[in-house]
C-alpha cells in the first residue's frame, strides 16, 4: 500500500513540474471572519451560486502576507490567465485572457475603480493592508456586475472590525532607500464595528538588471523617472440596528506622485520603438465613498443597495526633455489637470423561491464625467488651451436565476440590458449568461458557461483629441468555457478550464487615420491548469499553467494580438515550521509573446520579446505567538533582465526587509 509520505512526495513533484497560482485551488481556503461582505456585488446563493459555474480565483489576506504583495498587481500576478504588462504609461496593466485592462471591471467593496476617461485603473495606488480577499472572475461573469467586464472582474473585499480591539503596525525598506509604513486598527462591540487603515510608501527608483544593455536614453543603475510616492487612508463602519438590517459606510483616500519611465530606445530607424516621452504625474488625489445596506424584508425577500462616488484628480505633465524642467520648446508637451468621477446607485433585490430556486434583480445607474484643463505646446513658446468637459450616463437592468433541480446539479441563467446616454447619441445592448455545474462524484465538479457581454466606449474613446471617435459602437464578446474541479487525497486539488472567446468591435487606435476604430474580430482560445496541496502540516504548494492563443482577424499582417503571451507557468510554496520560521518562494515564467512595427511601416513586421523567469523569495520569523514578525526577501532573485513591452526594461533584483507587529 502506498504510504502517505510517498503520495505527498508524488504530489510535490507533480506540482513542481507544471508551476503556479494564487489561491485558486487552495483547499485550505475559508471565509475570513473579518470580511466586509456588505460591499460585495455578487453573493453566493444557497446552492453555491453563479460562481460555481464560472472560473473564480481567490486571493486571501494570508496569501498577500506570504508573498509580501504591496499593491494589487503584485497580489494577483500569479493567477492563471493574468498578465501584468508595463509599457509607455509606466503603470502596470492587468490583462485577463488576452483582454486589456479596460475590459476588466475593478470593484472595491462594490465601488467601480475604473477611470471614467478610459476605464483603465492603476493597481499600484490600491494598497493591500485593508484587503480581506480578492475574487477574480475570468471570462464569463455574473450579470449582476453589469456591462464592461469582457475579460473578467476583480472584486476586492476589504476587512472589517470584529469583537475587541485589534491592530497592526509594519515598516519595510530596501535597495535605494525606499520605505513602506502601514498600520490598521479595528474593533467591534454589540451592534457596531469599524476598520481603519493607512499606509505611506516611497520608491526613489527601481534598479535595472546588471545584464541590461545601456542606451543613450538610459545608461544603467537605476531607472530614470521611475520614482513613486503614495499615501492611503481607508475605513469602513458597520451598524446592525436589528437582526434583519445591516448598514455600512466605507471611504478611501489616496494621494501621491509618480514618473512614467520613457522608452530607452531613441532611434528613428527602429521600426518597433516608441519615441521617448518625458511624462510625470506630479500630483494625484483620489477619494471614494459608499453607503450600503442589506435588509431582510421577509424570510425569503432581501434587499441590498449601494450609493457611491469615486473621484480622481491628476496633474499630468509632459516635458520637453529628460531633465523635466521645460514645457515650451517641443510641440506636444503639455500641462493639464485631469479630473474623472463616477457616481452611481444600485439596488439588488433577491427572492428565495424555495425548491424552485433563487431570483436576483439588479438595477443601477452610473454617471461618468471627465474634465481636462491646461495647455499644450504647438510650437516653441506657442500654446493652445486644453479645455474639455464631457459626461455620459449608463443605466442597467438585469435578472439572474439560480436553481438546483437535482442533487448535485446547479443551473444559472441571466439577462441584462444596458443603455448609454450621451449628448450626440444614445446606444443600448444586452448581455446573456447561461451556466451549469454538476457534482459527478464526491469531490468531482463539472462546470460550463456561456456569456454574451458588451462594453460601451468610454469618454476618452469617444472624445479625446485627436483620436476620439463619437461614432464608435459597443464592443461585444461571446465566451464559452468549461472545466472540471477535482479534489484529491491528502488535502489536494486540481482544476482544468478551457475557454474560447470571439470578440468583435474592439476599440483600437488606427495609425493610418490616427483615430479610434472598431476592429472586426479577435479570438482567444486557451486553457488553464491549476493545482494545490497541503499534504504535510504547514506546507502549501501551488502550481498552474496557462495556454493562450490569440487571433487578430481584423488587420493585415497581424496574426495575433501583440503582448499576449502564449505560455505562463507559475509556482509558489511556503512552509510554516513549528518554531515560527516560514520560507516562501515563487516562480513566474512568461513566454512566446510578440509585437509589431509602429508608424505605418509597410509591410508589417513581427518580433518576439525574450521569454523570462522571475523568482521571488521571502524568509520570515515569528515571535511572541505570531504578534511580532521579522522578514527579509528578494524580488527577481536572479536579476533577470526582461521587458513586458519593447523598449521598457523592468526591475532587476530588489532586496528588502521589514518588521510587523500585531496588537
CB contact at 8 A, 202 and 257: no
Angle subtended at Cα 80 by Cα 273 and Cα 529, rounded to the nearest 5 degrees = 130
Q: What is the pLDDT of residue 42?
A: 77
The three-state secondary structure class of 298 is: coil
**Can you give the pLDDT at residue 177?**
86
Grid coordinates given for 655: 532586496
d(C-alpha 603, C-alpha 606), whole Å: 10
Query: CA 48, CA 86: separation in Å to the nearest integer?
Result: 37
Domain positions in the chain: 4-151+167-549+564-587+612-662
What is the model's pLDDT at position 599?
A: 65
Listed residue (396, 369, 392, 372) closest to 384, CA to CA: 372
Q: Measured between alpha carbons, how far is 145 from 416 in angstroms, rounded to an integer?
A: 10
Q: What pLDDT, on the 0 to 100 scale, is given for residue 13?
A: 40
Q: 231 with 207: CB under 8 angstroms?
A: no
Read out DSSP for 28-89?
Answer: T----TTB-GGG-SS---TTS-GGGGSEEEEEEHHHHHHHT--BHHHHHTTSTTEEEE--TT
Q: How far is CA 133 from CA 15, 76, 278, 482, in A?
A: 24, 11, 37, 25
CA contacts within 13 A on the Cβ side of 292: 23
pLDDT score for 12: 42
Q: What pLDDT sits at residue 601? A: 66
* Residues with pLDDT less than 50, the chain: 1-2, 4, 7-32, 45
pLDDT tens, residue by residue, 95-123: 999 999 999 999 999 889 999 999 999 99
Residue (of 149, 164, 156) closest to 58 by Cα position: 156
Instruction: Record the cell numbers describing residue 385, joined without a space.
Output: 488651451
- Is pTM beyond 0.85? Reply is yes
Query: How many Å apart are CA 71 and CA 122, to the nearest integer?
Result: 10
* Cα angle: 94, vertex 95, 101; to 5 degrees: 65
- Using the structure block, give the residue that is written with the C-alpha cell 489536494: 492
User: For the chain, how many helices (H) and strands (E)?
Assistant: 4, 33
- Determine how many CB atoms are found less than 10 A away from the CB of residue 160: 26
> Average model confidence (pLDDT) for the chain?
91
CB 79 within 8 Å of CB 136:
yes
Domain formed by 4-151+167-549+564-587+612-662, architecture:
Beta Barrel (2.40)
* CA distance linking residue 94 with residue 151, whole number of Å: 10
DSSP class per residue in 562-623: TT--SEEEEEEEEE--TTSEEEEEEEEEEE--EEE--TT-SS--EEEPPPEEEEEEEEEEEE
Please, what's the b/e burial string for 117-147 (b: 16 or more CB within 10 A of its CB; e: otherwise)? bbbbbbbbbbbbbbbbbbbbbbbbbbbbbbb
Reduce the DSSP state of residue 90 to 3 states and report it. coil
On whether the CB atoms of residues 263 and 647 are closer than 8 A, the answer is yes
Counting every residue, how long is the chain? 663
Residue 469 near residue 425 (C-beta atoms within 8 A): no
Q: Which of 249, 248, 237, 207 is nearest to 224 (CA)?
A: 207
The C-alpha atoms of residue 38 and residue 348 are separated, in whole angstroms, by 12
What is the predicted pLDDT for the residue at 460?
Answer: 95
Query: Residue 482: which of 139, 22, 19 has the closest Cα?
Result: 139
The C-alpha atoms of residue 316 and residue 282 are separated, in whole angstroms, by 6
User: What is the DSSP code (8-state) at residue 16?
Assistant: H
Q: What's the grid cell of residue 513? A: 487615420
Contact at 8 Å (CB) between 202 and 187? no
Residues 6 or more apart whose Cβ sits within 8 Å of residue 145 = 41, 42, 105, 107, 137, 153
In 3D space, the residue among 140, 145, 150 whose CA is nearest the CA of residue 450 turns out to be 140
| Helix/strand/coil for 95 | strand
Q: How far apart are CA 358 and CA 360, in angstroms?
A: 7
> Would you give the DSSP letter of residue 493?
E
According to the model, what pLDDT value does residue 138 have? 96
Amino acid at each position: 500500500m502506498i504510504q502517505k509520505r510517498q503520495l505527498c512526495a508524488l504530489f510535490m513533484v507533480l506540482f513542481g513540474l507544471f508551476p503556479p497560482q494564487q489561491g485558486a485551488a487552495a483547499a485550505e481556503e475559508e471565509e475570513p471572519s473579518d470580511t466586509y461582505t456588505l460591499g460585495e456585488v455578487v453573493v453566493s446563493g444557497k446552492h453555491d451560486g453563479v460562481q460555481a459555474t464560472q472560473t473564480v480565483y481567490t486571493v486571501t489576506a494570508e496569501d498577500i502576507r506570504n508573498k509580501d504583495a504591496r499593491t494589487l498587481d503584485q497580489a494577483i500576478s500569479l493567477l492563471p490567465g493574468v498578465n501584468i504588462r508595463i509599457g509607455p504609461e509606466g503603470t502596470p496593466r492587468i490583462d485577463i485572457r488576452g483582454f486589456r485592462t479596460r475590459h476588466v471591471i475593478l470593484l472595491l467593496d462594490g465601488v467601480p475603480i475604473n477611470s471614467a476617461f478610459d476605464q483603465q485603473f492603476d493597481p499600484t495606488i490600491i494598497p493591500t493592508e485593508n484587503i480581506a480577499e480578492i475574487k477574480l472572475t475570468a471570462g464569463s461573469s455574473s450579470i449582476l456586475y453589469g456591462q464592461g467586464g469582457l475579460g473578467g472582474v476583480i472584486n476586492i473585499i476589504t476587512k472589517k472590525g470584529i469583537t475587541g480591539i485589534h491592530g497592526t503596525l509594519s515598516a519595510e525598506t530596501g535597495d535605494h532607500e525606499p520605505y513602506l509604513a502601514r498600520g490598521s486598527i479595528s474593533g467591534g462591540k454589540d451592534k457596531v464595528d469599524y476598520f481603519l487603515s493607512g499606509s505611506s510608501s516611497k520608491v526613489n527608483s527601481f534598479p535595472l538588471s546588471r545584464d541590461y544593455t545601456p542606451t543613450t536614453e538610459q545608461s544603467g543603475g537605476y531607472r530614470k523617472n521611475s520614482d513613486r510616492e503614495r499615501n492611503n487612508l481607508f475605513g469602513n463602519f458597520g451598524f446592525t440596528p436589528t437582526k434583519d438590517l445591516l448598514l455600512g459606510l466605507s471611504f478611501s483616500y489616496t494621494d501621491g506622485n509618480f514618473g512614467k519611465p520613457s522608452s530607452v530606445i531613441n532611434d528613428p530607424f527602429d521600426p518597433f520603438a516608441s519615441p521617448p516621452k518625458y511624462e510625470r504625474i506630479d500630483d494625484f488625489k483620489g477619494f471614494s465613498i459608499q453607503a450600503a445596506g442589506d435588509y431582510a424584508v421577509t424570510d425569503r425577500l432581501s434587499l441590498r443597495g449601494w450609493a457611491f462616488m469615486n473621484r480622481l484628480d491628476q496633474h499630468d505633465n509632459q516635458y520637453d526633455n529628460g531633465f523635466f524642467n521645460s514645457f515650451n520648446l517641443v510641440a506636444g508637451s503639455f500641462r493639464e489637470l485631469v479630473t474623472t468621477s463616477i457616481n452611481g446607485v444600485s439596488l439588488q433585490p433577491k427572492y428565495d423561491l424555495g425548491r424552485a430556486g433563487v431570483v436576483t434583480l439588479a438595477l443601477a445607474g452610473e454617471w461618468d464625467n471627465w474634465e481636462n484643463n491646461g495647455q499644450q505646446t504647438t510650437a516653441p513658446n506657442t500654446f493652445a488651451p486644453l479645455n474639455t468637459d464631457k459626461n455620459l450616463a449608463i443605466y442597467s437592468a438585469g435578472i439572474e436565476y439560480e436553481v438546483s433541480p437535482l442533487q448535485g446539479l446547479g443551473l444559472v441563467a441571466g439577462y441584462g440590458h444596458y443603455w448609454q446616454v450621451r449628448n450626440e447619441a444614445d446606444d443600448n445592448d444586452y448581455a446573456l449568461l447561461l451556466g451549469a455545474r454538476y457534482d459527478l462524484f464526491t469531490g468531482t465538479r463539472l462546470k460550463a458557461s456561456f456569456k454574451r457581454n458588451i462594453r460601451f466606449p468610454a469618454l476618452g474613446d469617444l472624445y479625446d483629441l485627436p483620436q476620439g471617435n463619437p461614432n464608435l459602437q459597443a464592443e461585444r464578446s461571446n465566451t464559452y468555457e468549461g472545466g472540471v474541479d477535482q479534489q484529491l487525497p491528502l488535502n489536494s486539488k486540481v482544476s482544468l478550464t478551457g475557454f474560447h472567446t470571439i470578440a468583435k468591435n474592439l476599440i483600437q487606435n488606427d495609425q493610418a487615420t490616427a483615430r479610434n476604430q472598431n476592429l472586426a474580430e479577435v479570438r482567444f482560445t486557451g486553457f488553464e491548469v491549476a493545482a494545490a496541496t497541503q499534504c504535510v502540516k504547514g506546507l502549501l504548494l501551488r502550481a498552474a499553467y496557462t495556454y493562450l492563443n490569440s487571433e487578430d482577424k481584423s488587420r493585415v499582417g497581424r496574426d495575433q494580438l501583440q503582448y499576449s503571451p502564449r505560455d505562463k507557468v507559475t509556482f509558489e510554496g511556503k512552509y510554516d515550521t513549528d518554531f515560527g520560521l516560514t520560507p516562501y518562494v515563487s516562480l513566474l515564467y512568461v513566454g512566446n509573446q510578440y509585437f509589431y512595427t509602429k508608424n505605418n511601416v509597410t509591410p508589417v513586421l513581427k518580433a518576439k520579446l525574450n521569454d523570462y523567469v522571475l523568482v521571488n523569495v521571502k524568509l520570515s520569523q515569528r515571535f511572541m505567538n505570531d504578534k511580532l514578525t521579522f522578514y527579509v526577501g528578494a524580488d527577481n532573485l536572479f536579476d533577470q533582465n526582461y521587458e513586458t513591452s519593447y523598449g521598457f526594461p523592468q526591475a532587476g533584483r530588489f532586496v528588502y526587509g521589514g518588521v510587523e507587529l500585531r496588537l
